Amino acid sequence: MEPKSLQKRDILRKTLTYGFLTVWGIFVLFPFYWMVLTSVKSYGSYNAEYIPQLYTLHPTLQNYLDAFSAVPLLDYFVNTVIFTLATTALMLMVTVLAAFGFSRLQFKGRDLAFTAFLALMMIPTELVVITNFVTITNMDLRNTFAGLVLPSVTSVFYIYLLRENFSQIPNELYYAAKVDGTSDLKYLFKVMIPICRPTIVTVTILKVIECWNSYIWPRLITDDQAYFLVSNGIQEIRENGFGRENIPAMMAAVVVISVPLIVLFLCFRKRIMAGVSRGGVKG
Amino acid sequence: MNVTLQNLTKTFPGRGKQKNNDVIAVNDFTFEIPDGKLVGLLGPSGCGKSTMLNLLSGLLTPTAGKIFFGEEEVTNQPPQNRGVGLVFQNYALYPHLTVMQNITFPLENLKGKDKLTKAQMREKALEAARLVQIDQLMDRKPSELSGGQQQRVAIARALVKMPRILLLDEPLSNLDARLRLQTREEIRRIQTQTGITTVFVTHDQEEAMSICDMIVVMRDGILQQIGQPQQVYDDPENLFVAKFLGTPPINTFDARVEAGKLYIGEEAVLELPDAETGPVIAAIRPEGFVPSPLGSFTCQLQRIEVMGRDTSVVCSHPAFTGETFRAIIDSDEICQISAEARFSLKENKVYLFRPDTGDRIRF
Amino acid sequence: MEQNNRKGWLYLLPAMVFLGVFMVYPLIDVLVYSFEEGYNFASQTYYGTGTYNYAYVLRDPYFLQALKNTFILVAITVPLSTGIALLISVALSSIKKLRELYQTVFFLPYVTNTLAVGLVFMILFKQTPYTDGLANLILGWFGISPIDFIDGPYWAKMFVLCFYTIWVVMPFKVLILTSALASVKQDYYNAAMVDGTPRFRMFTRITLPMISPTLFYLIITGFIGAFKAYSDAVALFGTNLNAAEMNTIVGYIYDMLYGNSGGYPSYAAAAAIILFAIVLTITCINLLVSKKHVHYA
């Protein structure tokens, strides 16, 4: 084949590749564009558009004011923040301690216990949610933060991830600390956690995403609006909020609850993607 | 501080196939390390020397026997109460801490009346750093240091709390050849300067011989011989010690004693009037061969390797236990060698061992 | 180095308590529930044991509808999303400029709230008296008359559900496949290039076998994930999925447990165990198939 026609083919292939990727990029981004666009259209002008307009010349922030005043969006927001912080903090404590036990300490039955933990990874949430619902109900914890938080505190997968990371730290570091009279707990906090900070940050972010988006358990366990999280809130808004269907205001609420995670993602892009590709699964 | 071991024994439970057989890593050790000496624990890998070190540090507790530091028994004391400094083979520096923070780390654990202020810690750390000549590097992270520098940091960290005993686990094995030579002199200098009783583990006999006041040769958990390096080299108790010390290694021949003479092959090479008749293993140091046209020991020359001051003569002999053996001779004597090389032997460089047990046969 | 029994277990204690109460106990309990007939939530009594709950669930038209929906969803979205993800990843791996930008954009749906973005899809597809919606506008360009995708015919609703599901699951698959492609050593390609191997052959003979374990992992997790679909449907069609004929098995479980038709944990338990059995069976079949076709390095 002539070098010139080879070159031509190469350019054609490149153009097609970029074209394809760009089309997919638009497909991914379009819903985000549409939600922001709709959220800045006024109620009147949105409903007047029989043919949807792809841009607006008169953006308004009125919908955002409505979203915060007509429905308790701020309360949902605060609830979600409390829920996310509490769950993540407790989860970190529980998983770090367990991972430390599994990776650093020697005791009878350790490996058996670890295998049992791993086996639990295969259990789907749908199977245990029924009993948990009954348990929490019987403990009178419906519509409380405790009821929301407690069942999602432990994650076998994160224990596994942390243990793998902890195990990579050479044993000598531990013995060196032992000779210097460092206690186990102090070793954990002053040596292991700082060394494994990247993994711990990754785990934290993944858990925050999970908490922020959780819907099913909060829906089961709360029917009092005062304890709704954003997911339940948005569903409530969709079904009963804003009187008549006020789609621009609804979109404003959607923007508000989506922004924190998108900002978090853009800040920790590399870490999140690395963490997910190491085995995070959506939901 | 002198260290005394009494019948020290450590066994580990067997694993896998040998589940029922305990592994004896250290078997009934009794000896004393005099105050202020540098002692080398020497042996091939798996001989229990690291276990020995961990028993001294307190990371392991012995199955039986006692350990004394001076008059005080420390057998069951945890590491932090023993006042030992430990330097690991891979240095075990904390990667997230600076050199300064690494060195002050042990001091932060001191409690009660020993507790130090931040300034005191810095002062002590600097002092230790100056001793190992890394006081210019205090703000760096371990990953920014060379292997030799990391080694020094590890030693400074072990020295900073003024240990009674300093323990070094294969301190030179991760360094390149040139640095190894330099560092071992450095270790000797630091040890002499501080006067701390120091025990170091190595599988490299040259390393141990060159700087130690005393070496302890171990094999399979069993103590083989203790003594000053030269004394152990000159007067090995058994075949293992003889083979383990010296480069190039000692040459061993299947031989026999008959009528007061040592026979290698058909030749009588030495007069041994008091030796018992019977088969023996004759071990001859490479420097024990003297080229001489009238020598009693004849072998086939394979090649000559010139090494400057010395020359190594590679020969073969039917009674030799391997393929070829080496004799080290003065470069001046090279003209004496022909295709059929003849040597006379230095009597004090020839050792006889029992073929079955490897024990030394004195003559 | 030394054994440290009590302390070791102490560190595990919190995790064990939480897992015990919220995972191990429920696992046993759900089996018990599923065989207890006529369990009453309020009085916590039941009047018999047996397989009645299973029989009831399997005859319940709502469950059968959910089963059908879930199977259609799985059958459409798993192959389609995996295929498109493979195409995108290969395209991504072949470019250098702007690659990070594309990767970031493609991953965005992963971090968004399924419920929230589902609302956007709903308004894009919904037909109201005031507007036909953007989707219908585009269809109109091709001369297709407007359809209500949200409250209209069954196939239209199923189409939107599949469409949204693919949009949601794509980031994960693209990310995993892209990193798998990146881990194929350049040496193999260089060797093939020297032999004058055409590009397509390189892809089928080198790339595909090398990433086949990852591909297979994605197919398994894709099956499991799609069988558990629920939030996406809620986002598009609201919480009353039975009325919309768009319920899924998981949706059926939750509806039985709680909500307007709720209060029957026994039925929910039976349905959950049926779901688990289906997922397990499919995974096993997958594993068997993969033994033949997946190349493990």
Question: pLDDT tens-digit profile of C215-229?
Answer: 988 998 899 889 989
Of the candidates C209, C189, C184, C191, which has an alpha carbon nearest to the alpha carbon of residue C199?
C189
Of the candidates C88, C175, C83, C81, which has an alpha carbon nearest to the alpha carbon of residue A20?
C88
Predicted ipTM? 0.89
Residue C1 near chain B (CB below 8 Å): yes
Residues 39-68 of B with CB under 8 A from C: 54, 59-61
Residue % of chain A over a pLDDT of 90: 37
- Summarised one tens digit per residue, pLDDT across range A228-279 is 999 888 888 888 766 557 888 889 999 998 999 999 999 999 888 888 887 5
Q: Provide the pLDDT for residue A283.
A: 36
Residue C7 near chain B (CB below 8 Å): no
- Terminal-residue alpha carbon distance, chain B: 39
Q: Is the dihedral of CA B334, B339, B343, B349 positive or negative?
A: positive
Domain count, chain B: 2
Does the beta-carbon distance from A254 to C119 stay under 8 Å? yes
Q: Is the dihedral of CA B146, B148, B149, B151 positive or negative?
A: positive
Quick one: angle between helices A73-104 and A62-70, nearest 10? 80
CATH superfamily of A71-241: MetI-like (1.10.3720.10)
| Residue B239 token pair | 């075949």
- Summarised one tens digit per residue, pLDDT across range A44-87 is 888 888 778 888 888 888 889 888 888 888 999 999 999 999 99
Number of CB pairs, chain B paired with chain C, less than 8 A apart: 6
Q: Alpha carbon B352 to chain centroid distance?
A: 23
Which range is most confident: A113-117, A212-216, C161-165? C161-165
Residue A101 near chain C (CB below 8 Å): yes
Nearest CA in chain B to C3: B60
- Bridge partners, residue B38, by sequence: B198
A136-148 b/e with 16+ CB inside 10 Å = b? bbeeebbebeebb
B281 close to B319: Cβ distance less than 8 angstroms: no
Nearest CA in chain C to B57: C1
Residue B162 backbone phi and psi in degrees, to 5: 50, 65
Of A180, A194, A195, the CB nearest to B109: A180
Q: What angle do CA B186, B187, B193 make, to 5 degrees?
A: 90
Q: Are residues B232 and B317 in the same domain?
A: no
Chain C residues touching residue A216 (CB < 8 angstroms): 230-231, 254
Residues 190-249 of B with CB under 8 A from C: none
3-state secondary structure of B272: coil
B42 close to B202: Cβ distance less than 8 angstroms: yes
Residue B142 carries which DSSP code?
G
Chains touching A by CB (3 or more pairs below 8 Å): B, C
Give the dihedral of Cα atoms B133, B135, B136, B141; nearest 10 deg. Answer: 110
Residue A33 near chain C (CB below 8 Å): no
3-state secondary structure of C50: coil
CATH number, domain containing residue B137: 3.40.50.300
| Residue B192 token pair | 């002499």
- Summarised one tens digit per residue, pLDDT across range C173-207 is 999 999 999 888 888 888 877 777 788 888 888 88
Element (H, E) at C6: helix C5-19
Does the beta-carbon distance from A28 to C105 stay under 8 Å? yes
**Residue C18 domain-assigned (yes or no):** no
Residue B48 carries which DSSP code?
S
Q: Are residues B219 and B327 in the same domain?
A: no
Give the dihedral of Cα atoms B170, B171, B173, B178; nearest 10 deg. Answer: -150
Residues 46-85 of A with CB under 8 A from C: 47, 49-52
CA distances from B110 to B56, B104, B121 (A): 21, 11, 11
Of the candidates B201, B226, B172, B166, which has an alpha carbon nearest to the alpha carbon of residue B40?
B201
Q: Which amino acid is at C99?
A: R
CA distances from C41 to A148, A216, B241, C257 (A): 21, 20, 81, 10
Domain count, chain C: 1
- Summarised one tens digit per residue, pLDDT across range C37-83 is 877 766 677 777 888 889 999 999 999 999 999 999 999 999 999 99
Of the candidates B313, B361, B353, which has an alpha carbon nearest to the alpha carbon of residue B335?
B313
Of A179, A190, A194, the CB nearest to B80: A179
Residue B76 near chain C (CB below 8 Å): no
- Per mean pLDDT, which range of A116-125, B318-327, C259-268 is the poorest? C259-268
Region C231-249 average pLDDT: 89
How far off is chain A from C293, nearest CA to CA, in Å? 23
CATH number, domain containing residue C281: 1.10.3720.10
Q: Provide the pLDDT for residue B157.
A: 92
Chain A residues touching residue C24 (CB < 8 angstroms): 120
- Across chain C, mean pLDDT equals 87
Q: Are residues B191 and B275 in the same domain?
A: no
Nearest CA in chain B to A170: B92
| Residue B134 token pair | 């890394």
Give CA–CA dist A64/B93, Å, rounded.
54
Q: Provide the pLDDT for residue A281.
A: 47
Give the range of the structural domain holding residue B240, as residue numbers without chain letter: 3-244
Non-local CB neighbours of C75 within 8 Å, separated by 6+ positions: none
Give CA–CA dist B12/A107, Å, rounded.
15
Band of residue C3 on the pLDDT scale cut at 50, 70, 90: low
Number of CB pairs, chain A paired with chain B, less than 8 A apart: 58
Q: Are residues B228 and B270 in the same domain?
A: no
Residue B275 carries which DSSP code?
P
Residue A170 near chain B (CB below 8 Å): yes
Q: Alpha carbon C170 to chain centroid distance?
A: 11
Nearest CA in chain C to B59: C1
Residue A19 near chain C (CB below 8 Å): no
Residue A144 clears pLDDT 70, i.e. is over it? yes
Chains touching C by CB (3 or more pairs below 8 Å): A, B
Q: Are residues B220 and B284 in the same domain?
A: no
β-pairing verdict for B297-306 and B289-291: unpaired
Give CA–CA dist B80/A183, Å, rounded.
10
Neighbours of C194 (CB within 10 A): 8
- Summarised one tens digit per residue, pLDDT across range C106-157 is 999 999 888 889 989 998 998 877 778 888 888 888 888 888 888 889 999 9
**Residue C19 domain-assigned (yes or no):** no
Chain A residues touching residue C269 (CB < 8 angstroms): 130
Radius of gyration over alpha carbons of chain B, in Å?
25
Give the range of the structural domain holding residue C185, as residue numbers without chain letter: 53-293
- Bridge partners, residue B340, by sequence: B300
> Pick from B180, B214, B244: which residue ends a domain?
B244
Chain C residues touching residue B61 (CB < 8 angstroms): 2
Q: Are residues B104 and B54 in the same domain?
A: yes
Chain B residues touching residue C2 (CB < 8 angstroms): 59-61
Number of CB pairs, chain A paired with chain C, less than 8 A apart: 262
CA distances from A227 to A72, B84, C23, C291 (A): 11, 58, 24, 49
Does the beta-carbon distance from C131 to A97 stay under 8 Å? no
Residue A107 clears pLDDT 90, i.e. is over it? no
Q: Provide the pLDDT for residue C262.
A: 67
Give CA–CA dist A149/A208, Å, rounded.
13
- Per mean pLDDT, which range of C12-21, C220-229, C262-271 is the poorest? C262-271
Q: Are residues B291 and B316 in the same domain?
A: yes
> Pick from B195, B211, B244: which residue ends a domain?
B244
pLDDT tens-digit profile, chain B (363 residues): 899 999 999 998 877 666 677 888 899 999 899 999 999 999 988 888 889 999 999 888 899 999 999 999 999 888 888 889 999 888 889 998 999 999 998 888 887 777 888 999 999 999 999 998 898 999 999 999 998 899 999 999 999 988 999 999 988 888 888 888 888 898 999 999 999 999 999 988 888 888 999 999 999 889 999 999 999 999 999 999 999 998 889 999 999 998 888 999 888 888 888 888 889 999 999 999 988 888 888 888 888 888 888 889 999 998 898 889 999 988 777 777 777 888 889 989 999 999 999 899 887
3-state secondary structure of B73: strand
Interface with A, mutate which of C1, C11, C89 (most A CBs under 10 A): C11
Of C137, C170, C234, the CB nearest to A51: C137
Nearest CA in chain A to C101: A25
Q: Are residues B261 and B239 in the same domain?
A: no
**Residue C130 domain-assigned (yes or no):** yes
Does the beta-carbon distance from A181 to B109 stay under 8 Å? yes
> Pick from B197, B214, B244: which residue ends a domain?
B244
Q: Provide the pLDDT for residue A282.
A: 41
In sequence order, what E strands does chain A have? Answer: none
Does the beta-carbon distance from B106 to A186 stay under 8 Å? no
Nearest CA in chain A to C140: A51
Going across the sheet that includes B165-169, the strands are: B72-73, B64-69, B3-12, B23-33, B222-227, B214-219, B38-42, B197-202, B165-169, B84-87
